[in-house]
Chains A and B, each alone.
Chain A
Amino acid sequence: MPLRAKVASSVSRTAAALSRAAGRGDGSVIGGWIGLKIDPELLAHLSAGRAIALISGTNGKTTTTRLAAAAVGVLGRVATNSFGANMPTGHTSALAKAGSTPYAVLEVDEHYLAQVIEATDPHVVALLNLSRDQLDRAKEVAMMAQLWRAALARHPDIRVVANADDPMVVWAATPPATHDQRITPPHVTWFSAGQRWHDDSWVCPECGSTIQRSGEQWWCTGCPLRRPEPQWTVDDEGVLDPTGAWYKVKLQLPGKVNVGNAATALAVAAEFGVRPFDAVPRLGDVTSVAGRYAQVVREGRTVRLLLAKNPASWLEAFDMADEAPTLLSINARDPDGLDTSWLFDVDFAPLRGRLVLITGDRAYDLAVRLEVNDVPFQYVRTFDEAVRAVPPGRLEVIANYTAFQDIRAELDRVN
Chain B
Amino acid sequence: MSTETLRIVWIYPDLLSTYGDRGNALILARRAKQRGFPVEVLEVRSDQRLPTTADIYLIGGGEDGPQALGAQRLLADGGLHRAVAQGSVVFGVCAGYQLLGTSFFAKGTQYQGLELLDLSSDRGPSRAVGELAGDIDARLGLPPLTGFENHGGRTHLGPGVSPLARVTAGVGNDGATEGAWRGKLLGTYSHGPALARNPALADLLLRWATGAQHLPPLDDTWADRLRAERRTAVATARA
Which residues of A line the B interface, CB within 8 A? 132, 135-137, 140-142, 199, 202-203, 208, 210, 338-345, 364-365, 367-369, 371-373
Query: B14-22, B157-165, B175-183, B205-213: which lies at the A interface?
Result: B14-22
Interface string of B195-235 (1 = CB under 8 A from A): 01100000000000000000000000011011001000000
Complex Cα gap A202–B63 (Å): 13
- A136-B150, A210-B45 as given contacts; A203 in contact with B14, CB under 8 Å: yes
- A140-B63, A142-B63, A368-B226 as given contacts; A341 in contact with B15, CB under 8 Å: no
Q: Is B66 an interface residue (CB 8 A)?
A: yes
**Distance between B63 CB and nearest chain A CB, rounded to angstroms:** 5
**Distance between B109 CB and nearest chain A CB, rounded to angstroms:** 14
Partner among A141, A340, A341, A372 whose Cβ is within 8 Å of the Cβ of B27: A372
* CB–CB A369/B196 < 8 A: yes
Interface size of B by Cβ–Cβ distance < 8 Å? 34
- A132-B18, A208-B69 as given contacts; A364 in contact with B226, CB under 8 Å: yes
* CB–CB B20/A345 < 8 A: yes
Contacts of B47 in A (CB 8 A): 210
Q: Is B144 an interface residue (CB 8 A)?
A: no
**Distance between A415 CB and nearest chain B CB, rounded to angstroms:** 33
* CB–CB A341/B192 < 8 A: yes
Partner among A141, A345, A365 whose Cβ is within 8 Å of the Cβ of B22: A345
Contacts of B52 in A (CB 8 A): none
* CB–CB B26/A210 < 8 A: no
User: Within residues 8 to 36 of chain B, which ones have a CB less than 8 A from any CB in chain A?
Assistant: 13-15, 17-23, 26-27, 30
Q: Is B101 an interface residue (CB 8 A)?
A: no
- A142-B63, A338-B130 as given contacts; A203 in contact with B15, CB under 8 Å: yes
Complex Cα gap A341–B27 (Å): 13
Complex Cα gap A97–B102 (Å): 59
* CB–CB B69/A339 < 8 A: no
Complex Cα gap A367–B221 (Å): 10
Chain B, Cβ-Cβ closest to A370: B222
- A203-B15, A208-B65, A365-B226 as given contacts; A341 in contact with B23, CB under 8 Å: yes
**Distance between B192 CB and nearest chain A CB, rounded to angstroms:** 3
What are 14 inter-chain pairs, A to B, with CB distance below 8 A? A135-B19, A208-B69, A341-B19, A341-B148, A342-B20, A342-B192, A343-B20, A344-B23, A344-B193, A345-B22, A364-B222, A368-B222, A369-B196, A372-B30
- A210-B46, A365-B226, A368-B222 as given contacts; A203 in contact with B65, CB under 8 Å: yes
**Distance between B103 CB and nearest chain A CB, rounded to angstroms:** 20
Q: Is B191 an interface residue (CB 8 A)?
A: yes
Complex Cα gap A342–B197 (Å): 14
Contacts of B196 in A (CB 8 A): 344, 365, 368-369, 372
* CB–CB A135/B18 < 8 A: yes
Contacts of A369 in B (CB 8 A): 23, 196
* CB–CB A203/B66 < 8 A: yes
Contacts of A367 in B (CB 8 A): 222, 225-226
Contacts of A343 in B (CB 8 A): 20, 23, 193
Chain B, Cβ-Cβ closest to A140: B63
Complex Cα gap A345–B192 (Å): 10
Complex Cα gap A343–B148 (Å): 13
**Distance between A110 CB and nearest chain B CB, rounded to angstroms:** 16
**Distance between B146 CB and nearest chain A CB, rounded to angstroms:** 12
Chain B, Cβ-Cβ closest to A377: B222
- A341-B19, A341-B191 as given contacts; A142 in contact with B65, CB under 8 Å: yes
